Structure 1
Amino acid sequence: MISDFARGVARGALTMALTAGAVVGAASAAQAADATAGKLSISALSFAQPTVNSTAGAVADDLTFTVKNQNRHATTVVGHVTIRMHDVAQNAYIGHEQVVQFSYGNTCCGPVQYVSGTPQESTYTYTFVVPQYASSSAVTWDVTKITLDDGIGDTATFGAAKLQPFGASIATTALPDTSGPSLQSVSLYQNGAPMRPFVYVGAGSADVVYSFDVQDWQSGFWKGTIKLAGPAGQSVTTQFEYTTSDWSTGASCGIFSGGSTPYQFECGIVSTLPAGAAAGNWRVAQITLFSNSGAQSTYKNPQSQSVTVTSDTALSASGFSVSPNPVDNWRNDVTTNLTFTVTGATKGISAVYVDTDNGCPQWGNASVAPDGTVSVPLRMYTSSDGCTITGIAIVDGAANAAVYGSRYLNAPDPGLSISRIPDTTPPHATSATLSQTSVPFSQLSSTYVQLTIHADILTAPINGVGYYMYDANGNVVSQAFGGTGQLADGSVTISLWLPYWQLTPGVYTIGFDLTDAGGLRSFYGEIGDPRSQPVPGGPLVFTITDDSAAA
């Protein structure tokens, strides 16, 4: 917290600099600053209204200040102005620092407006809104810090003691805010679903995150503490605060960020359990909140979900494996099983929770074989070409837990993954036929022709087919590609597109290619493609006859 400073010095056009050692008279202030200061200095700073009454509502008050720079090569200046509430009776600063940015020439955007001048001497105005509520009926709002930077190496920071002789305060009569913030919706937070209320604490620490809503419609929310209590009288208390960015209007509370108002906000607070934290149930024992006026509210044992802490000592598992693995899920979803053995279980195994990525979720409850082997079914979808088991949580009948996998930070990871049997053989066509091999030209526009290809049933099903239609000179006159499904007899079908307006009577040949679900391709009868094989059973020929000549 910023230290107290003397007040009551007469206001005036005093000049102050980073290295200035004394306050001088208004007539000689500029010369004294130039003689003793660094290159950057403040030559004027004042509020339009040194005294306001905000009991009826917030009051706008303009702060005007002038920045000087003796470096004639400077082309800009940027900085920040910090304002904070000072309680007269307590002689202490309370609540947030309100920090705003300014920059030379900025007249369009941001809370501080450039008024006039050059990079060597420029003036700015900030309309500060004096809040209606405060820590008591008599407070001041003080400029406690100004930072300057000219972008070419010169910087300066001026604290409260050196700014106050300018009259950088607003004496305020306000409405006292004596009630602390309200608390709502306390819940355990995890980045990922579903919720797993387990934490691993071994040789290192572990983080537990709780989220909750804070409201204070008078002076706003300032800061607070959250206390987690565990077995054997252990506890962890974490401090948190509503903070704003020096360079934007954004604000945050813990790991959550959002709007720029402290009156209603969601906090996400990380509490760190140290190495060796007691295993068992940990809960939110207390949350204490402070308003921006310092008013306190305390919530004991708020309703929220607790977490189970473990070091995998009392309860543990070993011998992890997955079978079958790899699996053949090319055509259908299949089930495989995660198995392991458990040591130290009290009252048996009550639950097992398995988390995975990429399409192989837990597909039922765990079962225990007569030999003690625990088995958990997992479902491998056809859409998945492989997945990783990211988390395993085992809970016994006494609510002890053991956790494994990357989902639980620092927990042992069995390194389990499930793969699909590899696709090594591209599609193999055994025959190909056209539903119609000849058509009079006059009937071409109403003709529907299908190409049916029979292929072997291999590891991966065929899911794509395309064709090319060539004229007598080998030019492509029609083509199409699309997804398909391979039927039980191995066949796939595609319809020919017959653009009658550009086809003429003659003989055409058809080439085609097949793609399977693993991305392997085969080519048949495609002119000019060195990968292409002959069409099984001979070339596919389609003839358009000249019926007008016959007539």
Structure 2
Amino acid sequence: MNRLSVRTAIGRGAFALLAGALLVGGTATGAGATPKPRLALTALAFAEASVDATGGRARATVEWTVTDTQQAATNVSGTVVVQQVDPAGRPVGRGYPVSFAFQRKWDTRATVVSGTAQAATYRYAFPVPRYAAVANTTWAVVGLTAADDKGTELSLGRARLGTFHNSFTATELIDTTGPAVDNAYVVSEQPQYRYLDGKPVAVAYDVVASDYEAGVYAGELTVRGPDGTTVTGGFTLERDGGNLYTCGEGTGNGDTDEVRCRVEVQLPAGAAPGDWTITRARLTDNTGNVAVHRNLALAPVHLTRNAQLKADGLTIGPKLFNNWTSPTELTVSLKPVGALKGVASVTVLTADDCSSNQTVDAPVLQADGTIAVKLWILPIYTRSCTVTGIALRDGAGRSAAYGAAFNGPALNLVATQLPDSTDPVATSAVLSATELRTSQMPQSLGLTVGASSPVGITGTSFTIYDAAGVSQGGGGGGAAPGPDGKFHLGFYGSLPAGTYTVGFTITSSGGRSAMYGYPNGAGLPVPSGPLTFTVIEG
């Protein structure tokens, strides 16, 4: 009789006695020798013999007891794996790991019923899947591992676990279809062009798949080259320590109904140049159903040795760009050589936040045979722009790729921001009045400054000083020139009668400053003479 079928009470008792003899770890010791510490599974059973999972909320509660002869141990932890099995006891689909620990942590799934580290009973209410490949299924504990905090370990497989009441039967809805492929594409961080340098080419794909019945379990992509060579890569969804299902680097799915999984494919060192395309996706759900999808018409990876199609005269300009006061443009130029049926597209990849990557479809060929791609440079904070890759594709489907971003030698295409190496210069400064009256206070006083800098002016300020050199206020802040190209600042307030001097500061976009007309000879002299005014009584 199959071990996973219903046993008689007498049979279970006999199995339990046999388990006590078989499942104690360690080896026999000679008379008088100190026994080695041992972990053992002494009890394992599901509370339910059968459940109806068609409503989607069924649970089967399993309890197990682990003993430890290591008296110094204070913690025992491990994992049991619950999985569907076929009539021969072979696992089907996904296994569901259940963590347990005598000293529980936040991510431990089973609870401690009772006991000590030397003999503890654990319990877990297993949520039975609603769907299976057949209506009546068997679920079993197919694996158990345990270890104490002193180094003693235990590992049991499904054959030995079968001596316990380690299974139950379930009525489930039948799922006859495999998962669907919603999308598959080259990972966005990777370029779609690759230069062949005689080494294998690693390509990562993201696969978006769905299965709203049993859920996605595993998948495999087949990629075919222009010479018919095929390579495959696969993924399997695994439960992490929390509540996510992972399936490759950078993935984390809340369930298995809708997933995004990473597939790593190694194209061979001698890969043929041309398009390598996904030709097949084979997906498996949690019940074992398989769906094969062909002719997906997904974007290929273009491999090239820059042999038939080439690019000459790769340049970037201007080498020094001035973006201190406004956005500006750079131009990347290249001359295609050997293009058939024209140039279909040009792609430029950059670093240093100088621009988003640019792809120009059907680029215009200039009179001198070159193609120009414009890069948009944001103002002030973009200090440099480095081109990391240039790729082009002709109308016949052939490609060429240059730069480290495309797996080739690095390009020496760098443009840098015009340095702010000189102080700004004031060319003129005029007050709106040289005489004010106390009876008209508070009153406005204006200052108009003509100033220049190769990188632009972004700050102006002025201060009013009395005859003793004590500040009496002022004005300023961020600066933008008026229609006359000059900077207009203002003061509004009251001043007592007396003679006053005005000093001002101008600041360039790069942060360099120049001071003019301050008391005691501080700073530079004002271009048009000292800025003074008088407040008189009356």
Counterparts of 1:120 and 1:480, CA distance in 2: 79
Q: Is the 8 A contact 1:363 1:379 kept in 2?
A: no
| 1:461 correspondence with 2:456 | yes
Compute the displacement of 1:280 (Å): 1.7
Compute the displacement of 1:156 (Å): 4.1
Report the residue type matching 1:420 in the other structure: Q
Compute the displacement of 1:262 (Å): 0.8
Percentage of matched positions with identical amino acids: 31
Runs of 4+ residues over 6 Å off in structure 1 = 4-9
347, 353, 376: which one aligns with 2:347 = 353
Q: Is the 8 A contact 2:329 2:377 kept in 1?
A: yes
Counterparts of 1:155 and 1:464, CA distance in 2: 71
Counterparts of 1:322 and 1:479, CA distance in 2: 46
Q: Is the 8 A contact 2:476 2:490 kept in 1?
A: no
Say if 1:347 and 1:292 are closer, same or farther in 2 by CA, change over 3 A.
same
Say if 1:381 and 1:214 are closer, same or farther in 2 by CA, change over 3 A.
closer
Q: Could you give the per-residue CA deviations for residues 7-30 of structure 1, whole angstroms, max 9, x where no partner exists?
A: 8672648557562579xxxxxxxx
Q: Could you give the per-residue CA deviations for residues 275-309 of structure 1, whole angstroms, max 9, x where no partner exists?
A: 22222223221111111111111111124223332
Aligned to 1:231: 226
Superposition pairs of residues 497-516 of structure 1, within 5 angstroms: 498=493, 509-516=501-508
| 1:433 correspondence with 2:430 | yes
Superposition pairs of residues 35-184 of structure 1, within 5 angstroms: 38-88=37-87, 91-106=89-104, 111-151=109-149, 153-184=151-182
SS of the aligned residue for 2:510 comes to coil
Say if 1:80 and 1:542 are closer, same or farther in 2 by CA, change over 3 A.
farther
Say if 1:473 and 1:350 are closer, same or farther in 2 by CA, change over 3 A.
same
Q: Is the 8 A contact 2:453 2:508 kept in 1?
A: no
TM-score normalised to the size of structure 2?
A: 0.83
Structure 1 residues without counterparts, runs of 5 or longer: 23-34
Counterparts of 1:37 and 1:309, CA distance in 2: 60
Greater CA drift, 428-437 or 149-158 = 149-158
Compute the displacement of 1:233 (Å): 1.4
Compute the displacement of 1:181 (Å): 1.5
Counterparts of 1:466 and 1:363, CA distance in 2: 45
Report the residue type matching 2:143 in the other structure: K
SS of the aligned residue for 2:212 comes to coil
Counterparts of 1:67 and 1:363, CA distance in 2: 62
Aligned to 2:416: 419
Report the residue type matching 1:453 in the other structure: V
Report the residue type matching 2:217 in the other structure: W
SS of the aligned residue for 2:162 comes to helix
Provide the alpha-carbon RMSD of the alignment: 3.7
Counterparts of 1:39 and 1:497, CA distance in 2: 89
Q: Is the 8 A contact 1:387 1:419 kept in 2?
A: yes
Q: Is the 8 A contact 1:478 1:497 kept in 2?
A: no
Compute the displacement of 1:368 (Å): 4.3
Counterparts of 1:340 and 1:159, CA distance in 2: 64
| 1:395 correspondence with 2:393 | yes
Compute the displacement of 1:134 (Å): 2.4
511, 514, 518: which one aligns with 1:522 = 514
Q: Is the 8 A contact 2:3 2:163 kept in 1?
A: no
Kindly tell me the number of residue pairs found equivalent between the two proteins.
520
Report the residue type matching 1:191 in the other structure: E
Compute the displacement of 1:491 (Å): 2.6
Say if 1:134 and 1:350 are closer, same or farther in 2 by CA, change over 3 A.
closer
Counterparts of 1:178 and 1:172, CA distance in 2: 17
Aligned to 1:307: 301
10, 22, 47: which one aligns with 2:12 = 10
Compute the displacement of 1:427 (Å): 0.8
Q: Is the 8 A contact 1:465 1:515 kept in 2?
A: yes
SS of the aligned residue for 2:251 comes to strand
Compute the displacement of 1:184 (Å): 1.9
Superposition pairs of residues 530-545 of structure 1, within 5 angstroms: 532-537=523-528, 539-541=530-532
Report the residue type matching 2:343 in the other structure: I
Say if 1:476 and 1:363 are closer, same or farther in 2 by CA, change over 3 A.
farther
Aligned to 1:257: 251
SS of the aligned residue for 1:514 comes to strand
Aligned to 1:496: 491
Say if 1:174 and 1:336 are closer, same or farther in 2 by CA, change over 3 A.
closer
Compute the displacement of 1:426 (Å): 1.2
Compute the displacement of 1:93 (Å): 1.0
TM-score normalised to the size of structure 1?
A: 0.81
Structure 2 residues without counterparts, runs of 5 or longer: 29-33
SS of the aligned residue for 1:257 comes to coil
Q: Is the 8 A contact 1:327 1:420 kept in 2?
A: yes
SS of the aligned residue for 1:10 comes to helix
Say if 1:36 and 1:248 are closer, same or farther in 2 by CA, change over 3 A.
farther
Q: Is the 8 A contact 1:18 1:37 kept in 2?
A: no
SS of the aligned residue for 2:227 comes to helix
Aligned to 1:32: none
SS of the aligned residue for 1:407 comes to helix
Counterparts of 1:442 and 1:112, CA distance in 2: 87
Compute the displacement of 1:223 (Å): 1.0
Counterparts of 1:407 and 1:340, CA distance in 2: 17
Counterparts of 2:105 and 2:371, CA distance in 1: 69
Q: Is the 8 A contact 1:255 1:270 kept in 2?
A: no
